[in-house]
Structure 1
Amino acid sequence: MGFLDNLKKGFTDARARASEEISRYKNKDVLQAIVAGCTYIAAADGEISSAEKSKMLGFLRSSPLTAIYGMDEVVKIFEENSKRFEFDHDSGRIEALRIIAKLKGKPEAGMLVRTCIVIGKADGDFDQNERRAVGEIARELDLNPADFDL
């Protein structure tokens, strides 16, 4: 098995584990935090590209949370978060972290960090901006980024 095959298998396995874990925590706060986290990762380099939007929506399309709340709700939440970042990056960042912090001290916190890592790796390049952003999310949740190999 070649390097690309291993990379693809690793991503597929991680995505399946994240989807399974998400299905255990079916509530609106989790949905909002996951979408806020995904938006935060997408904006890590200062802007949210069309490719990053597609990557995030593609991941969430297969999420058990989407089956509960519907893709329209996911898109609505993502667009609200994206607009905050587009209007003012710092305001978008602060609001996303406020939403994410609702999971602080809850079992869903680690799942959120792992989901953000999967989103960051979805294009095959988990760059330094994305790693830093996931580390910030982990710290916001009082989790140690090193526990997630960040």
Structure 2
Amino acid sequence: MLAWLKTNAAKARETLTTEVAKHKNRKFMEAISNASAMVAMASNGAGAEEKQKMAAFLNTSPELKVFSLTDVLAVFNDAVAKFEFDPQIGQAEALKVIGRIKENESAARLLVRVTCAIGASDGDFDEKEKAACRQMCMELGLNPADFEL
């Protein structure tokens, strides 16, 4: 009986830790997904290379691997749909979500670095993608020159 209680208590604690991590890092996940959509839509649209690069980052990020790829892709696809409906609305909405992490400079810097890597994942980090990353920097209060933009 005591072993059963210990095992179930440990499982409950692990589940709670995962749920707290999801809540705590949801803003960052949403920001990364919107930033990825923004850079993908800046030039050739949301291709497989961008989605694969974003998924790879999410699977290796300790802060974000608590999220299912399904949840992340849902946020990404929602952002892409806004760009497809109207590019200006999509950009405004994405920047609003990205701006929510402004107070955390290390997260903001990580977002820009990841987004630059996603933009370059198809072998061509073009001027439109760089411009999108510069806009993110401005929204986050970061200097684009710090990221060679």
Scaled by the length of structure 1, the TM-score of the pair is: 0.74
Q: How far does residue 65 in structure 1 lie from its aligned partner after superposition? A: 4.5
1:135 paired to 2:131: no
Q: How far does residue 55 in structure 1 lie from its aligned partner after superposition? A: 4.0
Q: Which residue pairs with 2:113 in the alignment?
A: 114
Structure 1 gaps, min length 5 = 1-25
**Cα separation, 1, equivalents of 2:104 and 2:57:** 23
Count the aligned residue pairs: 125
Q: How far does residue 106 in structure 1 lie from its aligned partner after superposition? A: 1.5
Q: Which residue pairs with 1:123 in the alignment?
A: 122
Identity of aligned residues (%): 38
Please state whether the residue corresponding to 2:89 is helix, strand or coil: helix
Q: How far does residue 79 in structure 1 lie from its aligned partner after superposition? A: 1.2
Give deviations 1:6-26, integer Å, cap 9, x for gaps: xxxxxxxxxxxxxxxxxxxx6
Name which of 58, 81, 86 aligns with 1:88: 86
Q: How far does residue 97 in structure 1 lie from its aligned partner after superposition? A: 0.1
Scaled by the length of structure 2, the TM-score of the pair is: 0.75
Which residue identity lines up with residue 31 of structure 2 in the other structure?
Answer: A
Structure with max Cα Rg: 2
Give deviations 1:131-150, integer Å, cap 9, x for gaps: 11101100111111011111
**Cα separation, 2, equivalents of 1:28 and 1:120:** 22
Which residue identity lines up with residue 27 of structure 1 in the other structure?
Answer: N
Which residue identity lines up with residue 38 of structure 2 in the other structure?
Answer: Y
**Cα separation, 2, equivalents of 1:132 and 1:57:** 23
Q: Which residue pairs with 2:41 in the alignment?
A: 43
> Is this contact kept in 2: 1:120–1:126, CA < 8 A?
yes
The 5-angstrom pairing of residues 59-78 of structure 1 reads 59-78=57-76
Give deviations 1:84-142, integer Å, cap 9, x for gaps: 11111111100000000011132211111111111112122211111111011001111
Name which of 31, 34, 42 aligns with 1:33: 31
Q: CA RMSD in A?
A: 1.8
Q: Which runs of structure 1 show a deviation greater than 2 angstroms over 4 or more consecutive aligned residues?
A: 46-67
**Cα separation, 2, equivalents of 1:90 and 1:77:** 18
> Is this contact kept in 1: 2:36–2:115, CA < 8 A?
yes
